[in-house]
Amino acid sequence: MKLRSFLKLSLAVAALAAVGVGHAQAQLPPGYKPEYKMSLVVGTAFPWGKGGEIWANLVKERTQGRINIKLYPGVALVQGDQTREFTAIRQGVIDLAIGSTINWSPQIKELNLFSLPFLMPDYKAIDALTHGEVGKQIFATVDKAGALPLAWGENGFREITNSKKPIKAPEDLKGMKIRVVGSPLFLDTFTALGANPTQMSWADAQPALASGAVDGQENPLSIFTAAKLQTVGQKYVTMWGYVADPLIFVVNKDVWASWTPADQAIVRQAAIDAGKEEVAIARKGLDEPGKPLLKEIAALGVTVTELTPAEREAFVKATRPVFDKWKAQIGPGLVDAAEKAIAARK
Ligand code: X2X
């Protein structure tokens, strides 16, 4: 190409680009970005990622495209390191997120509340916390830590799985290599049970299970099925419901401040609506009589073990010192309030 025609072409391209950008910006209130980044650990095949998609779609619809959110599953904005997600939100590397209380607990110690072994016996207990005074307190703490919390979602009750044998008693965990997430509380819990816990990200967990570098892991069954963990050797599931991780819908504070009050109200309501829907998806097959999801998992060739109350109690007893140690670290007042709210649940 001759230099002159190259210059002409470049000018034309630049002019077109300017028109394009100008056009998009003309429709946006001042200070709005053409696109906002939402961080998630898992994609839309999982209830968690689906929740993100629902939130983004509701916001786009209700703001007529003024707020356009793109999903970044796999915590891609922090190179897969889920324990750095909260810091990245605060710093503005991430605009919005739906995060697990576990992944943000390295920065916000109060979020370890939900990881206290055997604090929450059932779904009503989770709701009693998230929908009550404790939930408000936790939101105030997240706010103070630097991100604006808008709504609750749910990853779910985390069940233990492994490649070796059915786990019915703490002794069955003896020496088993278990992948855990990045809060030291999990190391304490599994050490107390005689297992050999090792911390790694979700991205690293799947190859580690596939290669047999670890024997087991703990995650909600919706994660188990969507990630097809039976194909990486996880043939045994024990329903012990030892902890559950809620999800929190948040927005970076500067981003929030850049939106009009009307759009802020839309984003907040959309988070609440998406959160409700997401919780229902996360509980599907588990909160109906007969728990049909368990039969689906058994049909994959997986042995599903349900514990008697006495069998479960052995795990509660073995982890009680961990509960007490972490109660002191989380804040005895908050833990007492949580136990009271759970005892009073309807
Ligand atoms: O890493 C996990 O186990 C996961 C996907 O459940 C979380 O992000 C807490």
76 lies in a domain?
yes
At 10 the pLDDT is 54
- C-alpha dist (Å) from residue 248 to 103, 142, 184, 329: 11, 9, 20, 21
Give pLDDT tens digits for 233-262: 999 999 999 999 999 999 999 999 999 999
Q: Which of 198, 194, 247 lies closest to 218 in space, CA to CA?
A: 198
Residue nearest atom 6 of ligand 1, based on CA coordinates? 219
Distance of CA 89 to the CA centre of its chain: 14
Ligand 1 pocket, residue 113 CB under 6 Å: no
At 193 the pLDDT is 98
Give pLDDT tens digits for 277-291: 999 999 999 999 999
Q: What is the mean pLDDT of residues 114-129?
A: 98
State which of 41, 179, 206 you would mutate to test the pocket of ligand 1, scoring each by most atoms of that ligand within 8 A of its C-beta.
41
Going by pLDDT thresholds of 50, 70 and 90, the confidence category of residue 20 is: very low
At 27 the pLDDT is 82
25 lies in a domain?
no
2 lies in a domain?
no
Using DSSP's 3-state secondary structure scheme, residue 334 falls into helix
Ligand 1 pocket, residue 100 CB under 6 Å: yes
330 lies in a domain?
yes
- Enter the tokens of residue 130: 């998230």
State which of 86, 104, 158, 202 you would mutate to test the pocket of ligand 1, scoring each by most atoms of that ligand within 8 A of its C-beta.
202
26 lies in a domain?
no
Q: Which of 226, 282, 209 lies closest to 52 in space, CA to CA?
A: 282
Query: How many whole angstroms from 287 Cα to the centroid of ligand 1?
Result: 21
Ligand 1 pocket, residue 244 CB under 6 Å: no
- CATH assignment of the domain containing 59: 3.40.190.170
**Residue appearing with tokens 């979602």:** 153
Ligand 1 pocket, residue 218 CB under 6 Å: no
Q: What is the mean pLDDT of residues 55-70?
A: 98
Distance of CA 67 to the CA centre of its chain: 23
Query: How many whole angstroms from 221 Cα to the centroid of ligand 1?
Result: 12
Q: What is the mean pLDDT of residues 55-77?
A: 98
326 lies in a domain?
yes
Mean pLDDT of the chain: 94
Query: For residue 49, which phi and psi values (nearest 5 degrees)?
Result: -65, -35
Ligand 1 pocket, residue 159 CB under 6 Å: no
Which atom of ligand 1 is nearest the CA belonging to 245? 9
- Enter the tokens of residue 316: 């509660």
14 lies in a domain?
no
Residues 150, 275: Cα–Cα separation, whole Å = 9
Go through the chain and tell me how many residues it has.
346
Q: What is the mean pLDDT of residues 114-141?
A: 98
Going by pLDDT thresholds of 50, 70 and 90, the confidence category of residue 62 is: very high
Give pLDDT tens digits for 76-97: 999 999 999 999 999 999 999 9
At 2 the pLDDT is 54
- Helix H or strand E segment including 241: strand 236-252
Ligand 1 pocket, residue 270 CB under 6 Å: no
**Residue appearing with tokens 């059932």:** 122
252 lies in a domain?
yes
At 182 the pLDDT is 83
- Specify the number of domains making up the chain: 1
The 3-state secondary structure of 152-171 reads EEEEEEEEEEECCCCCCCHH
Ligand 1 pocket, residue 223 CB under 6 Å: yes
Give pLDDT tens digits for 135-192: 999 999 999 999 999 999 999 999 999 999 999 999 999 999 999 998 899 999 999 9
Which atom of ligand 1 is nearest the CA belonging to 102? 9
What percent of the chain is predicted at pLDDT more than 70?
Answer: 92
Query: How many whole angstroms from 49 Cα to the centroid of ligand 1?
Result: 12
Give this prediction's pTM: 0.93
Q: Which domain range does residue 339 map to?
A: 32-343
**DSSP strands (E only) in 82-235:** 96-100, 147-162, 177-180, 196-199, 216-219
